[in-house]
Amino acid sequence: MDYYAVKAKKDHYPARSVYKLEEVQEKYRLLRPGDAVLDIGSFPGSWSLFAGVVVGEKGLVVGVDLQQGSQAPRPGSAPLYWLRFDIRDPDVLMAIKKIRPAFKVILCDIAPKTTGNRWTDAQQSLRLVRTSLDLAQTLLLPGGNYLTKIFQGEDVPALLEQLRRAFALVKVLKPRSSRIESREIFILAMDYRGGKIITPEDDAPPDKAGNRTGIAEAIPDDTQ
């Protein structure tokens, strides 16, 4: 068991992934007291629990996952709502809107079942991220923030360009708590301008020529 897994158990979080969000939060403050937060791919609940503490009792957190969430909010935390849905299900949008029509922050820690083929896994990860962005186009408030996990792949630079059209600040991050061998990176997009994020042209089949990837910014120790 590594350092972050031990720390998660000590801090009563169900998964070590919470420290990835904590590192991003400490440097960029994407979550603020009173925010409404949508957590996509929320199970087992660490990101939702952490977000609930940051946004506080005046905030709200909705977690969506294929597996049913059950974590109770921490004392002084925002209320937590758990939805069991595939985010590709056309009914998920209405289910979310019944709880809250719009959100200041959308988090996405979703990942596909891996096949062992790097190109295939990266494409499946990209499709899930695009699905989360399709939801964000409807649910994210202007001025809102978006954070997603994605596997490194040749189409990440094109995705970054799409995000830069819709957000004032876009960063590619590799938190220290992310395992060194992992191909995951995180994209932070802040200050949503409103309107379309992904256009029909963006959903065209990928060009397999070239193997460029986004450059991940390591979050330095002095942000702690």
CB atoms within 10 A of CB 154: 18
Strand blocks (E) in the chain: 36-40, 60-65, 80-84, 103-108, 140-151, 167-174, 184-192, 217-218
In angstroms, how far is CA 169 from the centroid of its own chain?
Answer: 16
Q: Sheet holding 167-174: strands in order across?
A: 80-84, 60-65, 36-40, 103-108, 140-151, 184-192, 167-174, 217-218
> Which residues sit opposite 192 in a β-bridge?
167
Q: Of the residues 104, 149, 171, 174, which is catalytic? A: 149
Q: At what angle do helices 92-99 and 118-139 cross, to 10 degrees?
A: 50
State both tokens at 133: 């962005």
Q: Which residues contact 224 (CB under 8 A, 6 or more apart)?
A: 23, 26
SS3 (DSSP) at 123? helix
9 is catalytic: no
Q: Report, as residue numbers or ranges, the catalytic residues.
A: 149
